[in-house]
Amino acid sequence: MAISTSSKQEKIKVINYFPTKNYGREGDIVVANIRNKGLFFCIKANGQWYAQTKMQPLNKINDIFIKHLKSEKITLKNIKNSEISADKFLVSSNGNIRYRTGNQTIEDLGINSFDIDYKTAYCSLGQYSNKETCEANGGVWYLSENDSHDSISSTAENQLLTVSQSVGNVDAEPTLLYDGSTLEIKYNSDYDDNWQTSAQTDLLKLSYSTRSATMNFDSAGKLTLDCGGDIELNADGGDVKFKATSADLATINGTGLKIDNISGSSSSTSFLTENSGVVEKRTIPGLGVITALNNATVNELVTVGATTTELDSESGLTFDGNTLTITSDDALTSQLVITHAGTDFFAIDAMTNGATKIKTYDAVGTSGNLEIESDGDMLFDCGTTTSHDMTLDAAGHIILKATNNQIIFNDGSDDFGAINVGTPNIINLKSSTNYNIKLESQGTGDIDLDSGGDIILDSNDGNFIAKKAGTEFSVANSAYAGMILGCRVLGHDAGRAQYILTNAFVTLHADATVRFIAPPSGVVEVFVQAGYLDSLSGRYVYFGLSDNATYNTIGLEHEELVNMTDETDQRIIQNIWVVSGLTAGDTYNYWFGLKANLAGSGSLNYGGIGSGHYSPFIMKVTALPTAVADFAEYD
C-alpha cells in the first residue's frame, strides 16, 4: 500500500523570545530570534526546551561564535608561526591565536631581556673567559665546575638566581642549589662584592626585627646554631634524641633525661662526675659494696663508717624532706661550720634554751667581718614579750648607715621619729608629727649638752619651761624671763661727756639707744643709768623713751618724773620702764630722752678714762614673763 506524503512542509514558527516551559507541545519546533544575541533553533522534548548553538547567516557559515566554550580536549591546526619548533608561547594577536618566541614575548611586553652570569662557568681550552671566544676557537663552554650533571652540587641547571649588580642581569649562584626536593647551601669563602662584603661563616640566617638566629656548618662537619633568644625543641613524638651516626647518646622526654654510653667504670659503686666538662662514671677509691648500715633511724643522714663497706647513720644530722636539723649536746662545739682555706671559718652555735651565736674567725688577722645582705627588708624580731632585749655589743664602734638618709624608730606599727642625715653636716633628730622628743636620765644621772659650736633653743610656739622634779618654777612658759635682749653703754672707756638740760624732751645722743627683738611674752623691762646729775634747787627732771633719734615718744605713760631737787644736788640717776603689748619676734629701737622744768637748770655727766671719772651711760632691755595671774601681772 502506498503511503501518501504531503509535499507541503509545515511552517516553523519564528518568535522573538526564548520559549518558556509551558509554551508549546511535545515535539514542537520554533526559531527564537533574540535581539542583539542572534538566531536559535529550539525543540521541546520531555517537557523541556532545548536550543542549538547560535546559528550563523549562510554568508558566514565558517564563522562560529561561542560565548562560553567547555571541552575536555581541543586541537588547533594551522596556528600562525607554527613552523618554529621550540620556545613557543600562545598569544592573541588582533583576535588571532599565534605562537611567539621568548624573545618576541619579552619585546611584546616592553621589558629588557636579561643575561645569566654563571659564576663558575669555564672553557675546556682554559685560556678563554667567555663563551663566544671559547667556541670560536673549538672549545666547549661548560656552565659549572663539573659538567657530568651527576649530583645537585655540580649541576649548573639547579643553581638559583639572584639579582646582579646591573639591571636586567641575574647571577647563577653555584653555592645555592635546588633540584626539586633538596635545597643546598654550600660554604663559600671566595666571595664576590656583588652582594657580600666579607666571607660569611653563617650559611643560614633567620631574622625577626632586631633578633636573629644563624646556622653554620664548617669544614670539619661541625654544625653550630646561634640564637639571639631561646632554642625550643618540640617533639610531637615525645622523644628528643641525640645520636652519633646511629648510636644513641641521650634521650629527653616526659620521664626525664637518659644518657647512653657514659665513659668510665660501670661497677655498682660508681657515681656520675664531671671531668673537664665531660660526664663520666667514677668509683670512690676503696669503697666496696655496702654491706652494713649502722644504727639507722628514719630521716637520719649517713657518713662513711669504720670500713669502706659500712655507712653510719648520724643521729645528730636529720632531714625530713623539708628541714635539715643539726643536733649536738656539746656546748663547746659549733653545730654548723663553713670554712675557707681550711682555717678561716663562719660558725653557728645553738646552746641551751635555744640561745644562738653566729661567729666568724680570721686565722691570721681580724678581718672576719659578718655581712648580711638582703634584697628586701631585714627584720630582727625579739618577739612580743617585753623582757626580750636586743643588744648591740661592739669592741669598737656601732655604725648605722642608711642610703635613704633616715634611721627610723618604730614601735612595730607607728613611726615615732627618725635620725635624718639628709642635710650635709647636720644630724637631725626628728619626731613624727605631733610626737614629743624626751631626753630623760635616771637617778642622779645628768644630761650634758656640750657643743663645739652653738646651742640653739628654738620654740615654734615661744614657750620655754623650767621645772624642778616635774613642777614648773618659771612663770608659765617663760623660762626666758630675765634674759637681756639688748644693751648699750656710752663712756665706758672714753672721755667725759656733759649734757645741759633743756625744758623740752630731747634725745641725749644719737647713740643713746638700744635695739632688741621682742620676746614671746611681748613684755620687756627697759633700764637706764643716765649718769651723774648736777641740778639746781627747785628743779624737776623727766626721763622718756623715743622710737626715733629725734625725740618721738613711744607713749606719754613712759615720760616719767625721776628727780626733784629741793636744793643743789649731785647724784647718779637711774630709771626702769615696763613696756608691754609688743609683737613677739619684731625688732624695736628705743632712744633715751630727758628734760627739766627750766632750761639750763642742770647737767648730766657720764664717762671718763681716769680715776674718779663719772659712771657710764647704760641702757638695756630685759625680757619679762608672759602675763599670768598672781605671777606676772601688768595692771
User: pLDDT of 75-86, one tens digit each?
Assistant: 666 666 655 555
Count: domains in the chain? 6
Q: Is residue 192 part of a domain?
A: no
Q: Please tell me the pTM assigned to this model.
A: 0.45
DSSP state of 254: T
* Residue 153 domain flag: yes
pLDDT in tens, 250-285: 787 777 677 776 665 555 555 666 666 566 666 655
Indicate the average pLDDT of the chain. Answer: 76
User: pLDDT band at 8, cuts 50/70/90?
Assistant: very low
417 and 350 in a single domain? The answer is no
548-588 pLDDT tens trace: 999 999 999 999 998 887 776 778 888 999 999 999 999 99
Q: What percent of the chain has pLDDT above 90?
A: 15
Q: Specify if 42 maps to a domain.
A: yes
pLDDT of residue 280: 65
Residue 67 resides in a domain = no
C-alpha cell at 310: 659500712
Q: Do residues 312 and 275 share a domain?
A: no
The whole-angstrom separation of Cα 384 and Cα 409 is: 17
- Whether 497 is covered by a domain: the verdict is yes
Exposure string (b/e) for 272-308, b if CB count within 10 Å is 16 or more? Answer: eeeeeeeeeebbeeeeeeeeeeeeeeeebbbeebeee
Chosen domain end from 361, 388, 418 = 361
Task: Determine what percent of the chain falls in helix, strand and coil, rounding each to the nearest 5.
Answer: 5, 40, 55
512 or 214, which is more confident? Answer: 512
Nearest to 290 by CA among 309, 272, 306: 309
> Is 593 found in the same domain as 554?
yes
**Residue 4 falls inside a structural domain:** no
What string of DSSP letters covers 59-85? GGTT----SS---S-----S-BTTT--
Statement to judge: residues 310 and 262 lie in one domain: no
Instruction: Enter the C-alpha cell of residue 73.
Output: 580536549
Q: Looking at the structure, tell me whether residues 619 and 559 fall in a common domain.
A: yes
Say whether both 173 and 260 belong to one domain.
Answer: no
**In-domain check, residue 535:** yes
pLDDT at 577: 96
Residue 55 lies in domain: 13-60
How many angstroms separate the CA atoms of 294 and 313, rounded? 6
pLDDT at 148: 40
Identify whether residues 276 and 296 lie together within a single domain.
no
Look at residue 560 and tell me if it is in a domain: yes
Same domain, 299 and 244: no
Q: What per-residue confidence (pLDDT) applies to 442?
A: 79
Same structural domain for residues 262 and 328?
A: no
pLDDT of residue 314: 75
Position 373 pLDDT exceeds 90: no
Q: How many CB atoms lie within 10 A of CB 545?
A: 25
36: region left, alpha or beta (phi > 0 left; psi from -120 to 50 alpha) = left
Whether residue 428 sits in one domain with residue 504: no
Distance CA 182, CA 281 (A): 42
Let me know whether 244 and 165 are in one domain: no
Give the SS3 label for residue 208: strand
pLDDT at 81: 60
pLDDT score at 431: 78
Q: Are residues 593 and 503 in the same domain?
A: yes
CATH number of residue 26's parent domain: 3.30.505
